[in-house]
Chains A and B, each alone.
Chain A
Amino acid sequence: MTEIARLAAETESAVANAQTLDALEEARLAVLGKKGWLSAALKELGALSPDERKARAQQLNEVKDRLGAALDARKAVLADAAIEARLKAETLDMTLPLSESAEQLGRIHPVSQVIDEITEIFAAMGFSIAEGPDIEDDFHNFTALNIPPEHPARQMQDTFYLPKRGSDGEQIVLRTHTSPVQVRTMRGGPPPYRIIVPGRTYRSDYDMTHTPMFHQVEGLVIDRATHMGHLKGVLTEFCKAFFETDKVKMRFRPSYFPFTEPSAEVDINCSREGGVLRVGEGNDWLEILGSGMVNPKVLEYCGLDPKEWQGFAFGMGIDRIAMLKYGIPDLRSFFDADLRWLKHYGFVPLDIPTLGQGVAR
């Protein structure tokens, strides 16, 4: 056994026994460091004769490759073991609860969500949103809608009054319905119109099922040919899309509103089995909205010629259909801002209703 072979064997044993990366490095330096025996042996090659040098260099390179491989292999093993050891020390209790992020915490009120849903559906049918003031005058809220001062229909709505009179002597009121926006729309520019009007409305009523403020959405279509069949079509499509069921049945019942002629109340089928209200099932009926063909007198009040223009209007309680759709029991709780209620019945902010994704949650 030559000296080199002996040293190589010693080194191999040291490498194999190295327990740390430091010990391994020490072993490497003893061979390949500046003062390592292999480095020294390689340096001595220059003093040899060409023939001897060739043979010796081949032998030394073989040893160098072998030891290098052994060092690398051992290094990989030790590095891996070091990671294993580190992993053992590095643990976190991932069961620890985190605080909710802002977008998980925030909520959209059911009224806003449902208005967005309604908007999506009517947008698809070519409607746009119109708005008007909450503080109205008698003319827009009543007179132009064919509700004269002493009409019994004014007693159907308990109006909130404000003390001042408008510039034209009109009594100032809080709008009792969104219908004055019909008047503002028709007086504001020429037909055709295809609008919906979501908004706050006010009536002097406060009990289990009434709040002095509530939300309505008004619909108005005026052109030269729209008839009650279109009203039925639009409302049927709306209900199917809104409640996301093709099963929903609708019933149009003759009724009376001063601003429409003919007038219809619209019921949808529901089941009340077990005290739980389910829309689109069963054989009971539930009234959800009032509608009809715009009364020619209203068209005249708004400066439109009833011989030329016609169309339909409807009005629906937003809070009410929100309650129906999402099973919310008490109207009064809508306006109480109870965080527990809002967290439960509200909607997460990024859950934006679209027709593409569906409008039911």
Chain B
Amino acid sequence: MKFTLAWLKSHLDTTASLDEIAAKLTAIGLEVEGIEDRAAIFAPFIVAEVKKAEQHPNADKLRVCEVFTGTETIQVVCGAPNARAGMKGIFAPAGSTVPGTQLLLKATTIRGVASNGMLCSEREMGLTDEHTGIIDLPLDTPVGMPMAKVFGLDDPVIEIKLTPNRGDCLGVRGIARDLAAAGLGTLKPYAVPNVKGSFKSAIGVTLDFPAGAENACPIFAGRYIRGVKNGPSPAWLQQRLKAIGLRPISALVDVTNFFTYDLGRPLHVFDAAKVKGNITARLAKNGEKLLALDGKDYTLDDSITVIADENGPEGLGGVMGGEHTGCSFETTDVFLESAWFDPVRTAATGRKLGIHSDARHRFERIVDPAFVVNGAEVGTQMILDLCGGEASEIVLAGKAPDWKKTVTLRPSRLLGLVGFDLPVTEQTRILESLGFTVTKQGDLLSVDVPSWRPDIDGEADLVEEIARQHGFDAIPAEPLPPLRAVPAPAVNAGQRRVRVARRALAARGLTEAVTYSFIHHAEAEVFGGGQEELRLVNPISADMDTMRPSILPGLIAAAKRNMDRGQMDVALFEIGPQYASVAMDGQSIVATGLRRGATGARHWRDRPRNVDGYDAKADALAALSAAGIDTAPLMVMDGAPGWYHPGRSGTLRLGPKTVLASFGELHPRVLQKLDIKGPVVAFEVWLDRIPASRGKAGVRTKPALKLSELQAVERDFAFIVDQAVPAETLLKAVRGSEKALIARASVFDIFAGAGIPEGKKSLAISVRLEPQQQTLTDAEIEAVAKKIVAAAEKACGATLRA
């Protein structure tokens, strides 16, 4: 919302400075977005009189002028054909920047004659495109007067950002009222004229809405004004409109735009000669068309309110008038419309047709429903003032929608809700100056809401009005009372798992990424997603049209981008949501990571190798371990999802059914589809599948630690097994063969080839025996070894390597 300082002062009697007004506007919630002080731009340029204008001795088309600025006489060389002695124009001194050309003027010599400034055209001043001669002012214009003042440009333009609840401040008067209530002056009285009609309007108005849609346009006031003379509007009106960025069109149209901004009351003028028959406000018929004032054709439907005559729609109610019945300089008879349109329908129409007009902007934020007839009155009066003519009686159809509201206010709520108090008298004063009617009822205030404040409907709204007008600076900053001296933890077990897993993965050299929750549907399909219910109806682009079923495609795309920048070794992870469905439980938190390329750059000491599935396994285990899982009993099984290499991937399970993690090399076909060069390994850890720890919350004491004093024994075994036998099978058998003694069994060598039969491999296992009762004798050790060998053979046909 834009307005000028003078415009504001036409409603507000104030001595406050521009800065004070701006500060107060922001303080009461009418946030100042910008102030354009045009007087400052035009400050160097003043009215000057041309005392002499003589032919330039060396140039036919130039004149040497002596220009009097009120304080001095300056010689300038001027090429304008209209430069002549005795005229008054605008002088730009050397050293100033000409606004229209943005050129810095310098004192110079033109064909041997000194020139110390310039007499300017309207184009050079940035006023119009006029450049046939220099500005030729009326001879009574005082010499030395600032140019901005002459052209009415000394009026600063203020732009405020309005919140959508404040339709009342889409008129300058509403802003003035708010400022007055905040103590920045007094609101000037506003007398609505009562223009006597001298005849009956030739155009009648009916409202014709189906049941249920009556509120589309419940009231319509019109007035026929005949014998007007349309033409350019007066300078003051043009200047105001131009100042706020509107193009003056003609007096009749400018009047309607003026009231749109002055009182927040949109009006419309029809050229009465072009209206056929009477006017009806009704819903459009499907397929009806209208050429609107913006020059565009719109096809309408039955959700849209139109103002129609016998020819059909002539305007979009509350949005825009029609071209056909628009006013021109030839208009002599005019029909003025002041109506009220339903905010919801107006907004929907505007959205549907893509029209953002000043009228729509106001009607969808609710125009004062009690000012409809008054709107017709003020519009008529100004038309008569500017264009002459004779007004009919008012044609009125329907009645204003019910807007009356009374809200009860407990004055104590100010302190209770906002934290500072004001006397009841001051609370009352603020409300009354905003237009509320306040009646004291015991300890309560009964507050009638004015017609222009539909946003007020409860006690809290009134508290806000009082608080904001008094100023939020008065709100004290108080600490929240502590619930206890040392606060309880802020995160629950699940949130803690996420936080620790994140740090653990980063500590393994992975870098945390945050990628978009939506990806290309084709990529989603590769990862088991892409179902219809997860496709956005209105995506930003096809690349981001589907909620991700896995974080991996996003990380793969990120890896590719890094590779394109020459970063070939990539180690990224992300802990975030992925989506299996739109249901609440369709979203899960997954720690996902990816390694691509080598383990590092070439290095004299740490020879890099290509990443492999075991790196991914280690990452997954680290994440699980950090999340509080004892990883030793986890089952390592196959069954990773289809985007992993079937022979080089696995799952980590808590029991055979609960898959906590998948890991491994990515499937070569997936790499092909996503167009990334391997090796790429990945892991996915479902953090929210980790069961909550049993028992009571809080500290869990650790089980007692039994440390044996007795000598531990290490024994090595080399087993020959079939190539296909998983190491885990053998290790499990070994560990289980004598649980009381075997503290650890681990693989320290794997070998296949010379000396090992075809299709077999050798697994070398180190077993640590930790006796608890007494030191082991050789015989006892031998007995355990036998058990181990027997168990290995039973579990997977393992034989001791000769």
Q: How far is the CA of A106 from the CA of B532 in the complex (A)?
A: 37
Contacts A162-B536, A335-B516 given: A133-B344 contact, CB under 8 Å?
no
A254 interfacial contact with B, CB 8 Å: yes
> Contacts A228-B475, A229-B475, A340-B565 known; A112 to B512 CB distance under 8 Å?
yes
Task: Check A54 for interface membership: any CB of B closer than 8 A.
Answer: no
| Distance A63 CA – B605 CA, assembled complex (angstroms) | 56
A178: Cβ under 8 A from any B Cβ = no
| Cβ of A208 under 8 Å from chain B | no
Interface string of A178-211 (1 = CB under 8 A from B): 0000000000000000101000101010100000
Contact B488 A152 (CB under 8 A): no
Q: Is A315 an interface residue (CB 8 A)?
A: no
Contact between A352 and B503 (Cβ–Cβ < 8 Å)?
Answer: yes
Assess the A256–B29 pair: CB atoms within 8 A. yes
Q: Which residues of B contact A166 (CB under 8 A)?
A: 582
Inter-subunit contact B507/A350 (CB<8 Å): yes
Chain A residue at smallest Cβ distance from B535? A163
In the complex, which residue of chain B has the Cβ closest to the Cβ of A128? B490
**Closest residue of A by beta carbon distance from B490:** A123
With A253-B29, A255-B163, A256-B165 in contact, do A228 and B561 touch (Cβ < 8 Å)?
no
Q: Interface residue count for A (Cβ, 8 Å)?
A: 91
* B473 in contact with A128 (CB, 8 Å): no
B193: interface (CB < 8 Å): no
B606 within 8 A of A: yes
Residues A126 and B487 in contact, CB atoms below 8 Å apart: yes
- Within 8 Å by CB of B463, from A151, A225, A262, A350, lies A262
Known: A106-B506, A229-B477. A334 touches B514 (CB 8 A): yes
Count residues of chain B with CB under 8 A from any CB of chain A: 99
- Complex contacts, A19 vs chain B, CB 8 Å: none
A131-B498 Cα distance, complex, nearest whole Å: 13
**B273 interface contact, C-beta 8 A:** no
Q: Is the CB of B577 within 8 A of A160?
A: no
> Is B495 an interface position by the 8 A CB rule?
yes
Stretch at the interface among A34-42, A45-53, A72-80, A96-104: A96-104
Most chain B CB neighbours (cut-off 10 Å) among A102, A106, A125, A296: A106
A123, B418: Cβ atoms closer than 8 Å: no
Cβ-closest chain B residue relative to A167: B583
Bound complex: CA A127 to CA B532 (Å): 39
Q: Which chain B residues border A232 with CB–CB below 8 Å?
A: 419, 475-478
A161 CA to B490 CA, complexed, in Å: 32
B157 within 8 A of A: no
Contact call A253/B31, Cβ cutoff below 8 A: yes
Q: Does B154 contact A (CB under 8 A)?
A: no
Q: How far is the CB of B520 from chain A (nearest CB, A)?
A: 14
Partner of B534, one of A101, A151, A162, A234: A162
Q: Kindly list chain A residues whose C-beta atoms are within 8 Å of the C-beta of B351.
A: 155
Q: Is the CB of A337 within 8 A of B555?
A: yes
Task: Among B164, B461, B518, B567, point to the contact of A156 (Cβ < 8 A).
Answer: B164
B468 on interface, CB distance cutoff 8 Å: yes
- In the complex formed, the residue of A with least CB distance to B494 is A131
Tell me whether A234 and B538 are in contact (CB under 8 A).
no
Which A residues are CB-close (under 8 A) to B516? 212-213, 335
In this assembly, does A111 line the interface, its C-beta being within 8 Å of a C-beta of chain B?
Answer: yes
Report the separation of the CA atoms of residues A348 and B508 in the bound assembly, to the nearest whole angstrom: 11
Interface positions of B from 521 to 571, Cβ below 8 Å from A: 532-540, 544, 547, 555, 558, 561-562, 565, 567, 570-571
In the bound complex, CA of A105 to CA of B547 (Å): 31
- Which B residues from 661 to 700 make CB contacts under 8 A with A? none
A selection of 25 A-B contacts at a CB cut-off of 8 Å is: A99-B605, A105-B511, A106-B505, A106-B509, A108-B502, A123-B489, A126-B487, A129-B491, A134-B517, A134-B587, A135-B586, A160-B539, A174-B517, A196-B490, A200-B576, A200-B577, A206-B540, A213-B517, A228-B419, A232-B419, A232-B475, A252-B473, A255-B31, A256-B163, A256-B164
